[in-house]
């Protein structure tokens, strides 16, 4: 049953038997733009939703794994391409509040297309350049916008991070330019003073 909780200033689902709150939090999904030179890896979806259309490798984060591990796992399961989670670069985050989903996008580079295998969720996988990419057969319109930005940024050498919020009636999008990207970025902990 639903009940308004004054302490949280919102309506929550409450278990009728024990009175505990049944939280409904967003699900986290990951995608990866896997580049081989100037080409990107796409998967043709074998089942719904968007059956028969092309998408980036991706899926839900499982409990017990990092987002990078999930992105590498999903890419392997769907395409046969093995990625090292620690080598993935964060590229973008998009929130879909009306679906309760948060998408986190990564970039990866590979040195060849060997080992491509269509996983059980895909009927076909392949690398596509900007001119031969199946733009009219993409599973979702936002994939096309995302990939167009990627290709423009790749050509210009820009290092950016994307943030977006896709709502029912509008899209909020921000691009953050990254001045310098260190290949081996590590969190810097300042020394403690005695």
Closest by Cα among 78, 80, 101 to 28: 101
Q: Are 103 and 93 in contact (CB under 8 A)?
A: yes
**Between 109 and 25, residue with greater pLDDT:** 109
Q: Tell how strand 101-109 and strand 27-36 pair up.
A: parallel
The C-alpha atoms of residue 139 and residue 159 are separated, in whole angstroms, by 26
Q: Span 165-191, mean pLDDT? A: 64
The C-alpha atoms of residue 87 and residue 108 are separated, in whole angstroms, by 7
What's the mean pLDDT when you consider all of the chain? 89
pLDDT tens, residue by residue, 127-139: 999 999 999 999 9
The answer on pLDDT for 185 being more than 50 is no
- Percentage of the chain beyond pLDDT 70 is 91
- Global confidence as pTM: 0.83
Q: Which residues of 92-123 are buried (b: 16+ CB within 10 A; e: fewer)?
A: bbbbbeeeeebbbbbbbebeebeeeebbebbe
The answer on pLDDT for 117 being more than 90 is yes
The answer on pLDDT for 19 being more than 90 is no
The answer on pLDDT for 183 being more than 70 is no
**Between 45 and 180, residue with greater pLDDT:** 45
Would you place residue 192 in the very low, low, confident or very high pLDDT band (cuts 50, 70, 90)? Answer: very low
Q: State the pLDDT at residue 180.
A: 55
* Burial (CB count within 10 angstroms: exposed 0-12, middle 13-18, buried 19+), residue 59: middle
The answer on pLDDT for 27 being more than 50 is yes
The C-alpha atoms of residue 60 and residue 51 are separated, in whole angstroms, by 18
DSSP H helices in 9-110? 67-79
**Between 183 and 24, residue with greater pLDDT:** 24
Q: Report all structural domains of the chain as residue ranges with CATH numbers, in order of start.
A: 25-177 (3.90.79.10)
The answer on pLDDT for 35 being more than 50 is yes
């Amino acid at each position: 049953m639903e009940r308004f909780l004054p302490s949280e200033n919102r309506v929550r689902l409450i278990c009728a038997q024990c009175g505990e709150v049944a939280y409904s939090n967003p699900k986290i999904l990951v995608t990866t733009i896997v580049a081989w030179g100037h080409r990107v890896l796409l998967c043709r979806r074998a089942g719904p939703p968007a059956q028969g259309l092309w998408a980036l490798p991706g899926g839900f984060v499982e409990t017990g794994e990092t987002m990078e591990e999930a992105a590498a796992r999903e890419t392997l399961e769907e395409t046969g391409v093995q990625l090292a989670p620690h080598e993935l670069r964060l590229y973008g985050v998009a929130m879909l509040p009306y679906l309760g989903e948060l998408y986190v996008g990564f970039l990866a580079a590979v040195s060849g297309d060997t080992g491509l295998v269509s996983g059980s969720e895909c009927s076909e996988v392949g690398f596509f350049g900007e001119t031969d990419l199946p733009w009219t057969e993409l599973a979702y319109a936002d994939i096309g916008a995302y990939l167009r930005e990627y290709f423009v940024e790749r050509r210009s050498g820009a290092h950016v991070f994307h943030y977006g919020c896709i709502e029912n009636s509008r899209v909020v999008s921000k691009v953050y330019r990254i001045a310098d990207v260190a290949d081996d970025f590590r969190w810097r902990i300042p020394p403690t003073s005695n």
